[in-house]
Amino acid sequence: MRNRLSKKITFFVILILLIVISTMVLFSYHFFKNFYKEQLANSINEELRAYATMIEAGYDEEFVPIFVMEKNRERHVHMIFFDIDLQPIYSSHNVSEEWLKEYQAWVKERYESGGETLQYVDTGIDFHIPHIWAYQPIVKDGQFKGFFFVDQDTGEFEKAKVQLLLLLFSMGLFTLLIGIILTIYLTKVISKPLIKIGEATREIAKGDFDIKLTIESEDEVGQLALDIHAMTKQLKEYRDSKQQFISHISHDLRTPITYIKGYSAIMKDAPSVDEKEWRRNLDVIYKEAKRLEYLVSDLFQLTKLEEGKISLQKEEIELLDWLQSIVATRQLMFDNHSIRCEVSGSQDEVKAFIDQQRLGQAVINLLENSVRYTPKDGQISINVKYEGKEVVIEIRDNGIGISNVDLPHIWERFYRVDKSRSRESGGSGLGLAIVKEIVEVHGGRVDVESEEGVGTSFYLILPVM
């Protein structure tokens, strides 16, 4: 399993190397073969022109052919001197009648048609490149004297070809071996951290979120290790949050259920009916049932918000009038706590596209939170203003404030501070988490500033459009 990736990489690299090396060997072979043929053809033409020039320059007409024949006798070259009737006068080698007729017919056809004086001819000999046939007319003092003809056997190239192939094969084999060694080394370098990452992810899958990856590279593998580390950290936080959530919800559900069960048991087992005591017990049962209802309702709503299952009915709203109408619905709550609440704006008219019901709930949650932790004769101020392309709704109170330690966590579910977020204060512990989700669904964000003993300011920051 662990070597599967390295084997694949090695196989594909070797396959690519084989293709590239084979292509280079074949290309080099054909290149040098054609180069040799071209050089050989040029050499033959130059040699024939030199012989003809010797005769044309006045050398002895009998000496020159004899000299030429003797010179080429030891070579793989058939040199023939034909007269004007294409009858052989001198020949460097014995030529059969059959081949002689072939030579004569070829020279005659080429000379009379004015074709090329050199041609590659397939003689039917296996494993040889074609022979070269060439002729050169001889003219002296304006008189036609005959032809020099040559049949050059290019079979000598076979020996050079074998040497060339051996050289190219050796070079290719050496290159292939170097490529295999480098590939094996590189695949080990690449696969080693991947193996460590695989082992780490298997441990993470088992629930070990404390595992650490020690991969200190700055490439894609190193980035993958960093991403896995970040993912592990988030999973650990999610697990801890989940455990904390279960602990909180269990406690918050158990408390009212315990009260309801306890008081109902007292009423059930009472030997006689005491109307005053029963009313007191029923009042406790009712309050705990309402508390349980609020908790379940808040939890259900928060879950829907986090899953994105809430659809908004947005419309353009003038925020000052809208906020004043919300404050009016909670005036009795303010009066009961002797708290003043005022709404103001930097402009006479501030508009935004919002869902009145959803965002209204967020504002109410913040107001109830401020009332809960603001002393009597305190004050809550709501201010609305434009900041660039955003609308900011600030809800400020002069309550007990929140410590710097607790401030970053107040948007978390069930997070409570000893004083400002106690269970006895009546909150479900989900109010601020719901506020955050509602604002983010609107495409906005939340912020908070607080100082212990001075007060707290909550900010709902929304896009204008």
Report in angstroms the alpha-carbon separations of 275 from 268, 269, 283, 390: 13, 15, 12, 58
**CA-CA distance, 204 to 108, in Å (whole number)?**
90
Are residues 132 and 103 in contact, defined by beta-carbon separation less than 8 angstroms?
no
**CA-CA distance, 319 to 461, in Å (whole number)?**
13
Highest mean pLDDT among 15-24, 246-255, 398-407: 398-407
In this predicted structure, the answer to whether residue 426 has a pLDDT above a threshold of 70 is no
**Mean pLDDT of the region 361-367:** 88
Task: Give the model confidence (pLDDT) of 119-178 as tens digits.
Answer: 888 766 544 557 888 888 888 777 888 888 888 776 666 666 677 778 877 887 888 788
Q: Which residue has the tokens 């032809």?
A: 147
- Strands 131-140 and 315-318 turn out to be unpaired
Q: Give the Cβ contact number of residue 73 at 10 Å.
A: 12
SS3 call for 446: strand
In this predicted structure, the answer to whether residue 212 has a pLDDT above a threshold of 80 is no
C-alpha triplet 145, 151, 155: angle, nearest 5° = 165
Two tokens at 93?
């080698």
Are residues 211 and 203 in contact, defined by beta-carbon separation less than 8 angstroms?
yes
Q: Which domains occur in the chain, in start order?
A: 4-159 (3.30.450.20), 220-306 (1.10.287.130), 315-463 (3.30.565.10)
Task: Give the model confidence (pLDDT) of 279-300 as tens digits.
Answer: 888 888 887 787 777 677 767 7
Two tokens at 121?
């001819």
**CA-CA distance, 93 to 462, in Å (whole number)?**
105
**CA-CA distance, 292 to 288, in Å (whole number)?**
6
Is the whole model's pTM more than 0.75, yes or no? no
SS3 call for 82: strand
C-alpha triplet 202, 205, 206: angle, nearest 5° = 95
**Of the ranges 107-121, 364-378, 412-426, which one carries the lowest mean pLDDT score?**
412-426
pLDDT value, residue 395: 93
C-alpha triplet 393, 328, 412: angle, nearest 5° = 45
**Of the ranges 232-246, 384-398, 447-461, which one carries the lowest mean pLDDT score?**
232-246
Using only the alpha carbons of the chain, give its radius of gyration.
51
Two tokens at 345?
């704006």
